[in-house]
Amino acid sequence: MKIRIFFFAIATASILTVYAFRKSFINNAILTIAPSISSHSIGEKLDSFQGVYVYYNGDIDHVLERNVAKDGYNIGLKYQCVEFVKRYYYLHYKHKMPNSYGHAKDFYDKKLTDNSINKDRNLYQFSNPSNTKPRVGDILVFDGHLGNPYGHVAIVSQVLDNQIEIIQQNPGPGAPSREFLDMENNNGKYSLAAGLGWIGKRTP
């Protein structure tokens, strides 16, 4: 009987540890311990980029409702990271993605080579590292991980010599809407500190 209680206690502790570990990750695969209390409310405007707002979503798992444009185009679930990225492309570029569904990590097609057309998104795709430098407006795609199996997407808002700035929605309750990532240029090969790669509009 004591052995059963012991193993039950171990199993319970393991489950709680995994849950706490999962909650400690923010969506962009950068480890951040987020405070459990926030002064923001769901749907509150936190930031904006080129006229497109970033809204507060609370916990990364929170789902409000689907945002559908007047013409029927699926923008995404409010206020997930995907919804901001697609809303930005829809409003700023008047761009509709042929495949309007999929998790954040699905925006990057791992089967494609660097500087290829991603037909699902109708955008050029670049690997990390790539011969093509990220541009403002590109979508940076992060893979899934233990804390978030769905991945994360963000918009490149600034490109510097050795860094890029990203703007993001739903990175977690205590995470900022903007972050900087280091970028290296090794003989014309650009690599970022994190991310599968980036996709964006280019002139053929």
Domain layout of the chain by residue ranges: 2-200
Cα 189 to its chain centre, rounded Å, is 23
For residues 42 and 60, what is the distance between their CA atoms, to the nearest angstrom?
12
| pLDDT, tens digit only, all 204 positions of the chain | 545 544 444 444 444 443 333 333 334 444 333 444 578 999 999 999 999 999 999 999 999 999 999 999 999 999 999 999 999 999 999 999 999 999 999 999 999 999 999 999 999 999 999 999 999 999 999 999 988 999 999 999 999 999 999 999 999 888 999 999 999 999 999 999 999 999 999 987
Sheet holding 139-142, edge to edge: 116-118, 123-127, 197-200, 139-142, 152-159, 163-167, 178-186, 189-192
What pLDDT sits at residue 173?
A: 84
Alpha-carbon distance of 89 to 189, in angstroms, equals 26
How many Å apart are CA 105 and CA 76, to the nearest integer? 14
Say what the pLDDT of residue 174 is: 86
Q: Which residue is listed with tokens 């280019």?
A: 202
pLDDT digits (tens, 9 = 90+) for 42-54: 999 999 999 999 9
Per-residue confidence (pLDDT) for residue 37, from 0 to 100: 53
Query: Among 3.40.50.11900, 3.30.499.10, 3.90.1720.10, 3.20.20.70, what is the CATH number of 2-200?
Result: 3.90.1720.10
pTM metric for this prediction? 0.82
The residues, ordered by sequence, that sit 6+ positions from 131 with a Cβ below 8 Å of its Cβ are 114, 115, 188, 189, 190
- pLDDT at position 123, please? 98
pLDDT of 1 reads 52
